[in-house]
A and B are shown apart, each in its own frame.
Chain A
Amino acid sequence: MLAHDTVLHRAGVARSGNAAKADPITTEVVRHALNSAANQMKRALVRTAFSPVIYEVLDFAVAIYDPQMRLLAQAPSLPMFMGTLNFCVEEAVKNIGGTENMFPCDMIMYNWPYGTGSHPQDLAVINPVYLDDGELIGYTAIKGHWLDIAGKDPYCTDTVDVFQEGTIYPGVKIYKRGELNDDIYRMVLANSRVPKFVAGDLNAQVVGCRVGAAGFLEVVNRFGRDEFRNAVENMFDHGERVVRSYFESIPDGRYVGHGEMDSNGITDDKIPFEVVVEIEGSNVRLDFSNVPETQVGPVNCPVPSTISASRVAISMLAGYGEAPHEGHFRPVEVVTRPGTMFHPLPPAPCFLYGWPALQAIEVIYNAISKALPDAVPAQSGGCICSVVSWGTREATGEPWADGSPHPTGQGAWNGGDGGTMLHISESATRFSPIEVWEAKNPWMMDKLALAQDSGGPGTWRGGLGVDFHFRMTEDIFITTAVERTKNAPWGLLGGESGRANGAAVRFPDGRVVSVPKTTRFMVPKDAVLELSTGGGGGFGDPAERPRAAVEADLKAGYISEAFAREHYPHAFGEAAE
């Protein structure tokens, strides 16, 4: 039963065609072709984008929707953005006055966080797509992270309302019937600290949407709209069956996963929260209603991202590695309560929306582990450990900015030690080579190394965390957003915790200041930012880890002898050779 003050969210249930009339072959061909069109869009974006946040960090979402705002195809990019764009397409179209005010070759800009699910920096460009006879056949849309959108700082952990976070474009046409809307364009450039980057990335989003529209139209025209729609319905039904078949294998029940945020960015109190996973037959309901009230600091996660986190978690488990579409989301229901940190209302700050969202993915796995421990890994470092930096170059006086997530140890699972990678919510993202960093940014790396003893012990051990030491060669500003520094990553089934994340600045005079969440923190020349990312949790009793594996870890230096003696004493006994 739903409480009266909660809201139930479901995937699009509209129907546009008749699945029964679709032949299975055409369905498979249409599915391929739509994914291919989305891939073409992504490639156009990545090749044209100006900022590394797009082409290297892949901080964007690229998708094709039908007129009912149902996801037809999404190209692989940031999983965290999986299935979020429908909300912003819907809101953007509503805000310009509905489809009757929309015309071929219009491009709409939209970044109101409660519709995008993100912070204002994640700006969506939406392109309505029409057939030759003027019928609206759907949308191509790209949400991309802009390097700066004139928030109070380029990156913030301490906002107290959404208006501090950046300029809002509540659904405005940057192109009207193919003509650039110069008034808006100049507003865009005027509202960024790095207008060149913003101009380049906006252009890339527009190009990507156009490429996608051409590809999308080609698919529809090839089959004709009726056959196309029937195939789409059949494709959705098929995706739904795929996901349902997975949940049928998990015992029915109500499983509770527990998470905890370090702080809200303003006050330092820990924020525990829980997500309840209810499985009944092939239905799965993710209940976020029992979470804390909206926070005063920016760790509030607008509903689209709460839903998206749920979809990521489920698709990774039950989607069989396939590119997602609306059908995969149908078995998933999400419950939220307005006025909470997973359903904040305007103008609550939400700059760090992604941090509770990405933790929620692993909290959902934590819940599922209580039903089937083998189905999921132990916790990873639990954060993307972001550092954003900027300043003015000494020699040229030019402003610069850069930012990156960082890899952590991944959780072990029944059958494998954890690796060292970015958080699963950014699973295709890469951090920059240090030679690229050093060629353009005013720092030198002292160290990029796996941290000994950081992986959680277990039959299968967690992946190692990483030590990054950045020695500044000029004064720079940083914003850090590093969560899960107060709680170590959990192990499963007797596996132990890994090391927790940490970030600190070591000043030339030897003073050390911890900076897990900080905004516009000045790191002077010769000071060192020491980012120590967490290790993954272990899986299973450490006493069961084969002796040879412990010895190999020792030889490689993944663990020290003291650590090995403490956690794996069985490897040192007189035991049989």
Chain B
Amino acid sequence: MATRIGVDIGGTFTDLVYYDDETGETVEGKVPTVPHAPEEGVVNAVKGHVPREVIEKAEFFLHGTTVGLNALLERRGAKVGLITTEGFRDVLEIRRGDRAEMYNLFWKQPEPLVPRHRRLEVVERIKADGSVYRPLDEASVAPALAALVAEGVDTIAVCLINAYANPAHELRVEELLRAGGFTGGISLSHKISGEYREYERTSTTVIDAFVRARMSNYLKRLDGRLRELGFKGTSLITRSGSGSMTFAEAEDRPFETIMSGPVAGAQGASEVAQMLGIEALITADVGGTSFDAALILNGQPQVLYEGTIDNMPIQTPWVDVRSIGSGGGSIAHIDVGGLMRVGPRSAGAAPGPACYGKGGTEPAMTDAAGYLGMLGPGKLASGITLDFEKARAAIEPVAAAIRQDVETTAIGILRIASSSMANAMREVSVEQGLDPRTMTLLPFGGAGPLMATLLADELKMNRIVVPPLAGNFSAWGLLGADMVQSAARTRIMDLSPESIETVNAVLRDLFADIATRGDHLSRETVKTARIDLRYKGQEHWLSIEVPLDGETVAESAEGVRAAFTAEYLRSFGGTMTEAVEIVSIRATVRAPLPRRNQTLKPPEVSTEAEESVLAYSFGCRKRMPFRVVPRSAIVEPLQGPAIVTESTATLYLDADWTASTGDRGELVLVRSEAN
């Protein structure tokens, strides 16, 4: 057990949660994000909400940030040079031929991160089986280096064709660049990814080179500021593929953190699922501008192995979180054909929804919810009192355009938003061969609890778990992020007893490679391995976890095949008789953080006079009185309709739902008829 502090930087707010191991207390806080100097927001949050003695005794600082992501999106990164195999410098620019917006005649790819004049070729060629077709012409490296130095590049990315199968030439190019006097960063593709697909690997390598310096500077600055505040423990940052890594390692492999934004929520959801023994859970993270859904099966998030940012692929594990542009700030508007649409445009933080009274005049989803009474009396913890008259005024013109009254229109805004969120959740589930009706919904984020019963009704789900600190849940999720390191290598071969030997050899290499990345894993570690397998001839693969004995696969080829077949059947509803082929091998080392022994204050009967509001019930299709109850006062099961308030979120409990407080501070909502 260990005291720890988690800080998650969002677009609008920087959220903090700390866990004090001595008292078992979990405390939350929120400060505005400082966009130009995100570490200042972090420092403000820590200074403002964490007592000095807690900072000093904290063993871990866990961090979620979009610094790397923003560097990419805003194209503020290093000046990168790229070295490729002769004949292939345009791989990065030609890409794969597709359009992100397929019905848009004028869509065009964004500019590549490395312009053509900084992409240079060297003479060499390796074949797909790793054999050398043309040895590296060392004389061709010097002119490339000279040209890049003349361009003043900060870092050099090297991605040679088929380097995943044989890294010798990349390694030699690095030696020659150093021998030639280059002192900047060098990113070698086989170290970054190790997987095949040259465009995707090049893109990943270039992203690494592009964000590395910025990320490294940021992490150094932040670590320094934390030390000044008295922090003496280990600083960790979340990985896109779940878990965390030390700042030192993140400086070395920054691309592994790029897609970590929505991961902390999925991480927390996994912990809740494990804590409560929930087999299949789907998250609904509703923020101001976006809605994120993730599946948590048997306490684990689903991990994918290639992602895309701003149309640039990244070959790295990432938690499969599906986002759509729908949230509390999503604006209702009339389209060219005269129908009402909701989102994806958002009122954002400024001006925000009309009812915030900060100058917004267009109707946001929050305005509709507020107008319908779903936010209760509208006194937010931040001190803002929502102005529902402004909400009504904003909805009116849209209502007139579709010839409906304001009430019907507000209901419609909620129905459209919740149905598109539900569609996203349904697609994520069906894709895994699962029926949402059999799953538990875990809503969080500022507007998650507001939408919870609506989404469950759309999907015919019968059980909802609202986690503690729902509005700050991502930061809470950070606190459980075990340290994780992983490496992968493509090695295509038939699955056979002999190839399992090759897998073992590759695993030895991969674990050895991981071991060189730092000694902070001296604590107890758990090694795991996965093999990506497919039917021969197919391109798509499934990643199957295999049991290990030390660093060796403790399963026969037949056993691995059986596990693959079972997973294939589960995912696709059928199997084939084809031979099975190994594609890639993945090694992971996990150093679990000490368990937290979380206790939350037991609920107390409130002595304050209870309020009630006349709010719309979607279940009963009419307005009715909703009790307004503080979350901390739910001792006995609370039968809806009710509005449950807490400091960072408001729960809308529709008439046919009942809420009870669970042992771990969670609220469990069940549909009344399912009682």
Q: Say whether A associates with B.
A: yes
A197-B537, A242-B336, A436-B196 given as contacts; is B431 within 8 A of A450 (CB)? no
The answer for the CA separation of A367 and B335 in the assembled complex, in Å, is 28
Stretch in A114-122, A415-423, A501-509 with 4+ CB within 8 Å of B? A415-423
Tell yes or no: A79 within 8 A of B by CB. Answer: yes
- Interface residues in B537-553 by Cβ distance below 8 A to A read 537-540
A79-B102, A435-B164 given as contacts; is B539 within 8 A of A444 (CB)? no
Query: Chain B residues near A28 (CB, 8 Å)?
Result: 339-341, 412, 416
Q: Is there an interface contact between B128 and A24, defined as CB atoms closer than 8 Å?
A: no
Query: Chain B residues near A169 (CB, 8 Å)?
Result: none
Tell yes or no: A144 within 8 A of B by CB. Answer: no
Query: Chain A residues near B36 (CB, 8 Å)?
Result: none
Q: Is there an interface contact between A431 and B97, defined as CB atoms closer than 8 Å?
A: yes
Q: Is there an interface contact between A435 and B426, defined as CB atoms closer than 8 Å?
A: no
Q: How far is the CB of B408 from chain A (nearest CB, A)?
A: 8
Q: Is there an interface contact between A36 and B426, defined as CB atoms closer than 8 Å?
A: yes
Tell yes or no: A558 within 8 A of B by CB. Answer: yes
Query: Chain A residues near B426 (CB, 8 Å)?
Result: 36, 40, 215
Q: Is there an interface contact between B116 and A436, defined as CB atoms closer than 8 Å?
A: no
The answer for the CA separation of A446 and B85 in the assembled complex, in Å, is 10
Tell yes or no: A466 within 8 A of B by CB. Answer: yes
- Interface residues in B114-170 by Cβ distance below 8 A to A read 115-117, 125, 127-128, 133, 161-162, 164
The answer for the CA separation of A416 and B128 in the assembled complex, in Å, is 38
A29-B416, A196-B537 given as contacts; is B94 within 8 A of A238 (CB)? no
Per-position binary interface string of chain B over residues 401-415, scored 1 when its CB falls under 8 Å from any chain A CB and 0 otherwise: 010100010011001
A47-B571, A448-B87 given as contacts; is B109 within 8 A of A419 (CB)? yes
A377-B106, A428-B102, A433-B199 given as contacts; is B335 within 8 A of A420 (CB)? no
Count of chain A residues near B, Cβ 8 A = 85
Q: Is there an interface contact between B103 and A316, defined as CB atoms closer than 8 Å?
A: yes
A32-B420, A197-B537 given as contacts; is B93 within 8 A of A430 (CB)? no
Tell yes or no: A445 within 8 A of B by CB. Answer: yes
The answer for the CA separation of A422 and B108 in the assembled complex, in Å, is 12
Query: Chain B residues near A556 (CB, 8 Å)?
Result: 115-117
A24-B339, A416-B106 given as contacts; is B415 within 8 A of A29 (CB)? yes
- The interface size bin for chain B is 35 or more
Query: Chain A residues near B133 (CB, 8 Å)?
Result: 444
Q: Is there an interface contact between B431 and A47, defined as CB atoms closer than 8 Å?
A: yes
A29-B415, A433-B200 given as contacts; is B90 within 8 A of A43 (CB)? no
Tell yes or no: B101 within 8 A of A by CB. Answer: yes
Stretch in A259-267, A289-297, A318-326, A335-343 with 4+ CB within 8 Å of B? A318-326
The answer for the CA separation of A444 and B86 in the assembled complex, in Å, is 13
Stretch in B357-365, B463-471, B573-581 with 4+ CB within 8 Å of A? B573-581
Q: Is there an interface contact between B99 and A421, defined as CB atoms closer than 8 Å?
A: yes
Q: Please tell me which one of the listed residues A35, A377, A427 contacts residue B98 in the complex, with CB atoms under 8 A apart.
A: A427
Q: Is there an interface contact between A39 and B103, defined as CB atoms closer than 8 Å?
A: no
- Interface residues in B359-398 by Cβ distance below 8 A to A read none
Q: How far is the CB of B163 from chain A (nearest CB, A)?
A: 9
Query: Chain A residues near B125 (CB, 8 Å)?
Result: 444
Tell yes or no: A555 within 8 A of B by CB. Answer: yes
Smallest Cβ-Cβ distance to A313: which chain B residue? B105
Query: Chain A residues near B574 (CB, 8 Å)?
Result: 48, 203, 207
Query: Chain B residues near A27 (CB, 8 Å)?
Result: 339
Q: At the interface, is chain B mostly helix, strand, loop or mixed? A: loop
- Interface residues in B65-121 by Cβ distance below 8 A to A read 87-91, 93-94, 96-99, 101-106, 108-109, 115-117
Tell yes or no: B56 within 8 A of A by CB. Answer: no
A439-B196, A450-B93 given as contacts; is B419 within 8 A of A421 (CB)? no
The answer for the CA separation of A416 and B412 in the assembled complex, in Å, is 39
Q: Which of A200, A433, A556 has the most CB of B within 10 A?
A: A433
A25-B412, A420-B94, A450-B93 given as contacts; is B197 within 8 A of A435 (CB)? yes
The answer for the CA separation of A407 and B95 in the assembled complex, in Å, is 10
A24-B404, A200-B538, A444-B133 given as contacts; is B415 within 8 A of A431 (CB)? no
Q: Which of A324, A435, A450 has the most CB of B within 10 A?
A: A435
Q: Please tell me which one of the listed residues B96, B404, B572 contacts residue A48 in the complex, with CB atoms under 8 A apart.
A: B572
Q: Is there an interface contact between B104 and A24, defined as CB atoms closer than 8 Å?
A: no
Q: How far is the CB of A62 from chain B (nearest CB, A)?
A: 13
A25-B411, A407-B97 given as contacts; is B105 within 8 A of A317 (CB)? yes
The answer for the CA separation of A377 and B106 in the assembled complex, in Å, is 8
Q: Is there an interface contact between B87 and A446, defined as CB atoms closer than 8 Å?
A: yes
The answer for the CA separation of A56 and B539 in the assembled complex, in Å, is 9
- Interface residues in B397-445 by Cβ distance below 8 A to A read 402, 404, 408, 411-412, 415-416, 419-420, 423, 426-427, 430-431
The answer for the CA separation of A48 and B115 in the assembled complex, in Å, is 38
Smallest Cβ-Cβ distance to B195: which chain A residue? A435
Q: Is there an interface contact between B108 and A50, defined as CB atoms closer than 8 Å?
A: no
Q: Is there an interface contact between A438 and B572, defined as CB atoms closer than 8 Å?
A: no
Smallest Cβ-Cβ distance to B341: which chain A residue? A28
Smallest Cβ-Cβ distance to A450: which chain B residue? B90
Tell yes or no: B51 within 8 A of A by CB. Answer: no
The answer for the CA separation of A415 and B107 in the assembled complex, in Å, is 12
- Interface residues in A400-448 by Cβ distance below 8 A to B read 405-407, 410, 413, 415-422, 424, 427-431, 433-436, 438-439, 444-448
Query: Chain B residues near A33 (CB, 8 Å)?
Result: 419, 423
Q: Is there an interface contact between B87 and A47, defined as CB atoms closer than 8 Å?
A: no
Query: Chain B residues near A238 (CB, 8 Å)?
Result: 337-339
The answer for the CA separation of A429 and B102 in the assembled complex, in Å, is 9
The answer for the CA separation of A410 and B109 in the assembled complex, in Å, is 12
Query: Chain A residues near B200 (CB, 8 Å)?
Result: 433
The answer for the CA separation of A324 and B162 in the assembled complex, in Å, is 41
Q: Which of B102, B162, B411 has the most CB of A within 10 A?
A: B102
Q: Is there an interface contact between A43 and B427, defined as CB atoms closer than 8 Å?
A: yes
Tell yes or no: B349 within 8 A of A by CB. Answer: no
Q: Please tell me which one of the listed residues B198, B335, B539 contacts residue A242 in the complex, with CB atoms under 8 A apart.
A: B335
Tell yes or no: B492 within 8 A of A by CB. Answer: yes
Q: Is there an interface contact between A316 and B539, defined as CB atoms closer than 8 Å?
A: no
Q: Is there an interface contact between A428 and B99, defined as CB atoms closer than 8 Å?
A: yes
- Interface residues in A243-302 by Cβ distance below 8 A to B read 245
A32-B423, A33-B423, A40-B426 given as contacts; is B337 within 8 A of A448 (CB)? no
Q: How far is the CB of B161 from chain A (nearest CB, A)?
A: 7
Q: Is there an interface contact between A448 and B88, defined as CB atoms closer than 8 Å?
A: yes
Q: Is there an interface contact between A448 and B115, defined as CB atoms closer than 8 Å?
A: no
Query: Chain A residues near B415 (CB, 8 Å)?
Result: 25, 29
Smallest Cβ-Cβ distance to A79: which chain B residue? B102
Per-position binary interface string of chain A over residues 372-398, scored 1 when its CB falls under 8 Å from any chain B CB and 0 otherwise: 000011000000000000000000000
Query: Chain A residues near B540 (CB, 8 Å)?
Result: 47, 49, 55
Q: How far is the CB of A75 from chain B (nearest CB, A)?
A: 11
Q: Is there an interface contact between B109 and A320, defined as CB atoms closer than 8 Å?
A: no
Smallest Cβ-Cβ distance to A434: which chain B residue? B198
Per-position binary interface string of chain A over residues 18-34, scored 1 when its CB falls under 8 Å from any chain B CB and 0 otherwise: 00000111011100110
Smallest Cβ-Cβ distance to A435: which chain B residue? B196
Tell yes or no: A547 within 8 A of B by CB. Answer: no
Query: Chain B residues near A242 (CB, 8 Å)?
Result: 335-337
In the A-B complex, the 3 residue pairs with the smallest Cβ-Cβ separation, listed nearest first, are: A25-B412, A36-B423, A430-B96
Using A245-B337, A424-B105, A445-B161 as known contacts, list a sample of 15 further A-B pairs with CB atoms less than 8 Å apart, ordered by residue number in A. A24-B339, A25-B411, A29-B415, A32-B416, A36-B427, A40-B430, A48-B572, A242-B337, A406-B97, A422-B98, A428-B98, A429-B98, A439-B492, A449-B90, A556-B116
16 A/B residue pairs, CB under 8 Å, sorted by A: A28-B339, A50-B537, A52-B539, A196-B537, A200-B535, A238-B338, A376-B105, A419-B109, A421-B109, A428-B102, A430-B97, A435-B164, A435-B197, A447-B88, A449-B87, A450-B94
* Chain A positions near chain B (C-beta within 8 angstroms): 23-25, 27-29, 32-33, 35-36, 39-40, 43-44, 47-50, 52, 55-56, 76, 79, 196-197, 199-200, 203, 207, 211, 215, 238-239, 241-242, 245, 315-317, 319-324, 376-377, 405-407, 410, 413, 415-422, 424, 427-431, 433-436, 438-439, 444-450, 466, 469, 555-558
